[in-house]
Structure 1
């Protein structure tokens, strides 16, 4: 072998080891660079030269510089990171939501109970101005807490809106970066070699996108990487990036949804397709958790205010002459939001018919063209229950009214009976004389009665404003509770009469006498304690001294323990009682707490899985400084040997 051949072997060996040293130094330099993949020089023999004595090797060549990479581990790390980011974003928001509803004496349930308890002093001393003032103060505190909670929910919504905008901006920036890297990578692909550092940068950028929205990837023949979101919606295709946009909600412009601007056409992405990343967590919190909390708060506010105001209207205030009680509390009115895609000019409105039957839900009203004219599909969004309704239908405590112009086919409306109730909650009554403590009706017992019956409770149940006041006389005809009743006018002329039967625990109600035309000024309900005997007589008529009467104050006190919130009627006609205001608030706290705990557990588990996936990827592609130091010595010695 000639000296030149030996020199060639040494030069090639020096060159190969120099390349290996360079790659090792590059690895050591980037050991702490996020997203960097370890690189190594691939060597190959230079072939052999035939001689009569056989083939003699001609040294070594540098084939390429390859990076350690695993498509599977990279995808797994990206996917788990997206899920962890979604869980963390939702958990963080829910922890803020939990602070809106404090426990104990700072809670809304406690404030409502305090308001009802303050009526005890009014019942004991109906004319006491200071006792009446305490009731107004407690009612004002309840309204303030409801309003404050509603404002805090609005603040949370604003925070979600701003965070969504910032996240979408960041995704668009990163997607543009991927498109630029695709172009550079494709440009060098024709050389037959890969630009390892650019590939690392692209993988790292795609991983960053996964923090905001879950992606899937597909590599093209030219080396570019296509990125998709939402089950197939392109985000990056070659060197072109599709812009994500924040789309105003179809019903409520204050809420944002995720959309794409594809060649100038803006389309909203269904929430169910956005399955990972912080954007998915924010959307779930906004569209599910926050809506549920707002409706539960509104349900309590509307039920309490509606029930108290209704009982106020059934009593007499302290003015001279006494008048029916004015509203004590004011809450936000029910609202209807038409969809932005509606083509017709129809208007829809709703009004509360029974506050105790209001449910913690929004409803969607759709003009389904498959239904007869004048019929609509109403879906309760909290549970998906649907039914067909018409104009004037009463559902879950509210009445639906369709305007003169009928909705066009497929027009949609979002009905919110309670969502806005917490907004503008305030004390509507400022004058202590306006508190309606007196009942408009009173009962008297004949002095000759021999039974033990007395009044346990007596309150008005309805007002017939156009009717004249009537006096009811009830005469028991036996010891088993049978009685005759008569209604007489101011001149003592008989208006109506009939019979009935009383039993222990059952109220005597004037509306059960079912007059053909309402005749009495007030309908009322009378509960007796003790037992009447045959011949006993009692009379129910107008309260003779309203200033000292406490009948309506007692009726308002009874609302504290009554099932005011969420009463419902099953299809069978069975009435399911509602919850008291304290129980309703406790139930809301429990539901929020369960959501928080569930979200925290999910965030903890998904973070652990993401960390493990990242560790698996790092073990495969990361730089180990101990290994690199050993290789550095190896290649140095090889270089020195080749040089000699």
Structure 2
């Protein structure tokens, strides 16, 4: 009789086990499009056999565990690719804006510089013409406006990056805090011998997002909890403790800080990865470099024009005599330290009568020597 009961029990466990396996398969199918879900697999185990004297009889099968189909190597590769993707994504939007600013068109900076020197070229054909002289002054003012507009647009892109950084901090802190909570939940579940597959899926998904945003690195500590840190080694999650990020304003820019054990630490942008690194790189390196080159170009053009113009001659309206030594642009080298030259290009002449087109000290009406010299300056730019 006991043998019959054992056989029936084996059949019962087989049905129950296969039903459980079907439920797991059904759950896999239901979550096929769920972001971050890892396919689960039932681990089957034989129920220990019963001793019937001369032999042992098996008692069937049971589900010993439900494991995730999780490849650590592939997960690590995905995490690394997320870091790279995040960095390029962080650069993409501001670089597109910069491309628009410097794109070749009829109203960009390059066109304004060309128009300015073209006006000088037109002046060479009629050095005494009031229309041509007024056109030179107008084009000089428009070129100054174009430099200022370009500088201001660079500032706008920089401010947009700062605002974008600020807007992401709350969400990043929520994700960091959630990893710490999931660490604790997984530990409490698995310490009792149960599987925390769902919680592990959630944690891995958040980790992938943090990799994209901050370029984080991770490792498992001696309690099996996930430790998360920035590429520079600054911890974000240790066990069930999260380290919150915050914003600090430095002049017109923003930077990141982190609170560790009650102490606030500045985060060097070089410690970051992912999207944050991309944004900081564009702001601190690319835009700063463009502003420096823009200021250098402003100084070089105005100085080159002034050097030639101050040696040119014109007829002083007040005395009617030939005069020289007149600046065409305000001297940008005399600006106070820290003042961006590209925002302060101003024509120094009150009107076109003070424009020095002549090269000879008689300022003869047909003398276009200085106008030709300034028109030829266009070549280097």
Partner of 2:264: 266
The residue number in structure 1 matching 2:34 is 33
- Structure 1 residues 232 and 12: alpha-carbon distance in aligned structure 2, compared to 1, 3 A threshold: same
1:553 equivalent among 341, 354, 371: 371
Tell me, yes or no, if structure 1 residue 293 matches structure 2 residue 290: yes
Q: Following TM superposition, by how much is the alpha carbon of 1:247 offset from its aligned partner in structure 2, in angstroms?
A: 3.8
In terms of fraction of residues, the more helix-rich structure is 2
Question: Judging changes above 3 Å, is the alpha-carbon distance between structure 1 residues 53 and 85 closer, same or farther for their aligned structure 2 residues?
Answer: same
Alignment of 1:186-585 (within 5 A): 186-249=187-250, 253-274=251-272, 276-317=273-314, 318-321=316-319, 324=324, 326-330=326-330, 420-439=340-359, 442=360, 543-544=361-362, 549-561=367-379, 580-581=380-381
Structure whose alpha-carbon radius of gyration is higher: 1
Which whole-Å deviations, capped at 9, do the CAs of 1:407-436 have from their partners, x for residues lacking one? xxxxxxxxx6xx822224444445222323
Task: Verify the 8 A CA contact 2:122 2:132 in the aligned structure 1.
Answer: yes
SS of the residue aligned with 1:43?
Answer: strand
Aligned residue pair count: 377
Q: Is residue 150–residue 422 contact of structure 1 (8 Å, CA) maintained in 2?
A: yes
Q: For structure 2, which runs of at least 5 residues remain unmatched after alignment? A: none
C-alpha distance in structure 1 between counterparts of 2:372 and 2:31, whole Å: 78
Q: Give the alignment's Cα RMSD to 1 decimal.
A: 2.6
CA contact (8 A) 1:325 1:435 kept: no
Query: Quick check: 2:233–2:271 contact (8 Å CA) kept in 1?
Result: no
Decide whether the 8 Å contact of 1:245 with 1:260 is kept in 2. Answer: yes
Q: Name 1:94's counterpart in structure 2.
A: 95
Please report the TM-score for the alignment, with normalisation by the length of structure 2: 0.89
| 1:45–1:545 Cα change, 3 Å | closer
Specify the alignment match of 1:23 in structure 2. Answer: 24
Cα distance in 2 between the residues matched to 1:90 and 1:426? 34
Match of 1:343 in 2: none
Equivalent-residue separation in structure 2 for 1:214 and 1:121 (angstroms): 56
The equivalent residue for 1:611 is none
Distance in 2 (alpha carbons) for counterparts of 1:15 and 1:175:
40
- SS state at 1:285 partner: helix
State which drifts further: 115-124 or 199-208. Answer: 115-124
Question: Does the CA-based 8 Å contact 2:87-2:274 persist in structure 1?
Answer: yes
Higher strand share: 1
Aligned partners of 1:101 and 1:107 also within 8 Å: yes
1:38-57 correspondence to structure 2 within 5 Å: 38-57=39-58
Change in 2 beyond 3 A, CA 1:334/1:199: farther
Gaps of 5+ in 1: 336-348, 351-415, 443-542, 562-579, 582-644
Deviates more, 1:219-228 or 1:197-206: 219-228
Q: Secondary structure at the match of 1:116?
A: helix
Q: Which residue of 2 aligns with 1:592?
A: none
